[in-house]
Amino acid sequence: MAFIQLKTSLPGPKGLAALERRKNLLPAGLAKSTDVVVERAEGALVWDVDGNQLIDFAGGIGMINVGHRNEQVVGAIKKQLDKYIHTCSLVTTIEPYLDLAELLNSVTPGDFPKKTLLACSGSEAVENAINIAKYYTKRNAVLCFEAAYHGRTLLTLSLTSKYALFKKGFGTYVPDIYRIPAPNVYRGIPGMSEAAYEKYCIQKLEEAFITQVDPDSLAAIIIEPVMGEGGFIPIPASYLHKLRQVCDKHGIVFIADEIQCGAGRTGKMYACEHSGVIPDMVVSAKSIGAGMPISAVTGKAKMMDAPHLGGVGGTYGGSPIACVAAIEAIKILQSESFLQRVNEVGEIIRITMEGWKTKYSLIGDVRGIGAMRLVEFVKDRDTKEPDAEATLEIIKDAVAHGLIMIRAGLFSNCIRLLPPIVITNQQLVEGLQVLEAAIASAQEKRK
């Protein structure tokens, strides 16, 4: 292997010692998809504490599209460190905050006056978006979708789907949240064409306004244009257009959660651009910070201005260090050359995965847009019974061979690929070979 270079088994002795410390020091509920203990990272490569060199196909769950330690980003951070670290945007005005807001107001879809509020995590930004929508509409109800992931604070966990892994045991959730199935073409109605299924989903949405919630009581509809955690489910354009129509008709705020599918990952700066649908508010996080903890709500100025003075903000929101990192990252993410590279990376993955589908019956579906690609494992292609065991086995095998990976999907039966886009073709092909070998081995065991 040219890029994966293993000097010890994974984890090695130093890694094992750190994992032992982790067991004693961190809560058991804090999951990890690999046993990799990091020493440093650069581009699409990660080195562990035992000197092993690994390829990164998880990119910190899609937060490192511009690559680990991107040179432009690191340079901007260092420069800012020599000026000031933070003075709090609730106390002083921070120019990098203004610069980033200006940039986000211009790169988010929609040709109308916009404003941006910065926060520190994706969850915090989603929570702010919903609160602002409530304030603006003077309504309480929110519509969200099955398979959605919006975060882990009380409000965002209430919006998140998937009970077993995320919500179990955490008690009562926020009221007035309504959830309906999202269109999922792969798991649609057997025998129904894709076009007919899309119509069916739209009909179900209309029915929900009779059976579940009065649309005139909705403050917001929140959706990931390509669902991330739920299994890289692209929401059909027709459905997003229908949501837009409903929002326009009933004065509902349309919120696009672009935390995972945005930041250039799908080949456009924001995934909703593929449909031409323009949300009222866009939530950005993950890769806009290139690894720094920063998130943003960008929305129509009249909506963003609704809360009273003092109604929004926080101590760390708009950290200048994170802002200057995000400014450099976004300049790269939205550039023609970067988005072209996203499509090249995506095509290599797509063609390779399509080939796997013809060889391994374990694979039920391969899908995605741009470089947001996923493979879904099933026990049987006809019944589509999810195979979470095989998925875990494949991940463990690939990680043991030096590939950093993470799963996804409502049934935990998918592997999502979110490599840094700066990955070279050779690194990408090598990583895909490791993944294929793990799939082939799992398939062989099931013969």
- Which stretches of the chain bind ligand PLP, using CB under 6 A? 61, 121-123, 126, 149-151, 224, 228-229, 257, 259-260, 285
Spacing of C-alpha 426 from chain mean position: 25
Return the number of other C-beta atoms located less than 10 Å from residue 192's C-beta. Answer: 13
Nearest-approach distance from CB 404 to ligand PLP, in angstroms: 16
Positive or negative, the Cα torsion across 443, 380, 260, 185? positive
Contact (CB, 8 A) for 419 and 428: yes
Q: Which is nearer to ligand PLP, 401 or 416 (CB)?
A: 416
Looking at beta carbons, which pairs linking 245-252 to residues 24 or more positions away fall under 8 Å? Answer: 246/205, 246/209, 246/215, 246/221, 247/221, 247/280, 249/215, 250/215, 250/216, 250/218, 251/137, 251/216, 252/137, 252/143, 252/215, 252/218, 252/219, 252/220, 252/221
Q: Which is nearer to ligand PLP, 271 or 395 (CB)?
A: 271
Prior bond of 236 cis (ω within 30°): no
Return the number of other C-beta atoms located less than 10 Å from residue 114's C-beta. Answer: 23
Q: Which is nearer to ligand PLP, 323 or 362 (CB)?
A: 323
| Residue 117, beta-bridge partner list | 297
Nearest-approach distance from CB 131 to ligand PLP, in angstroms: 15
Q: Which is nearer to ligand PLP, 228 or 402 (CB)?
A: 228
The single-letter DSSP state of residue 153 is: S
Contact (CB, 8 A) for 184 and 226: no
- Distance (Å, whole) CA 277 – CA 242: 10
Nearest-approach distance from CB 192 to ligand PLP, in angstroms: 28
Q: Which is nearer to ligand PLP, 125 or 349 (CB)?
A: 125
Q: Which is nearer to ligand PLP, 198 or 229 (CB)?
A: 229
Spacing of C-alpha 327 from chain mean position: 19
- Distance (Å, whole) CA 19 – CA 27: 12
Q: Which is nearer to ligand PLP, 294 or 394 (CB)?
A: 294
In the bound state, the residue with its beta carbon closest to ligand PLP is 122
Nearest-approach distance from CB 339 to ligand PLP, in angstroms: 20
Q: Which is nearer to ligand PLP, 153 or 433 (CB)?
A: 153
Nearest-approach distance from CB 258 to ligand PLP, in angstroms: 8
Nearest-approach distance from CB 121 to ligand PLP, in angstroms: 4
Return the number of other C-beta atoms located less than 10 Å from residue 203's C-beta. Answer: 11
Q: Phi, psi (5° rounding) for residue 94? A: -110, 115
| b/e per residue 22-45 (b: at least 16 CB within 10 A) | eeeeeeeeeeebbbbbbeebebbb
Those residues whose C-beta lies under 8 Å from the C-beta of residue 14, and which sit 6 or more positions away, are 37, 49, 50
Give me the torsion for CA of 32, 33, 39, 40, rounded to 10°.
-120
Nearest-approach distance from CB 79 to ligand PLP, in angstroms: 26
- Distance (Å, whole) CA 44 – CA 68: 7
Nearest-approach distance from CB 283 to ligand PLP, in angstroms: 7
Q: Which is nearer to ligand PLP, 73 or 126 (CB)?
A: 126
Give me the torsion for CA of 352, 357, 362, 364, rounded to 10°.
110
Nearest-approach distance from CB 153 to ligand PLP, in angstroms: 8
- Distance (Å, whole) CA 245 – CA 38: 47
- Distance (Å, whole) CA 350 – CA 342: 12
Tokens representing 4 are 């994966």
Q: Which is nearer to ligand PLP, 76 or 297 (CB)?
A: 297
Nearest-approach distance from CB 425 to ligand PLP, in angstroms: 27
Nearest-approach distance from CB 444 to ligand PLP, in angstroms: 33
Nearest-approach distance from CB 128 to ligand PLP, in angstroms: 12
Q: Which is nearer to ligand PLP, 229 or 365 (CB)?
A: 229
Q: Which is nearer to ligand PLP, 286 or 350 (CB)?
A: 286
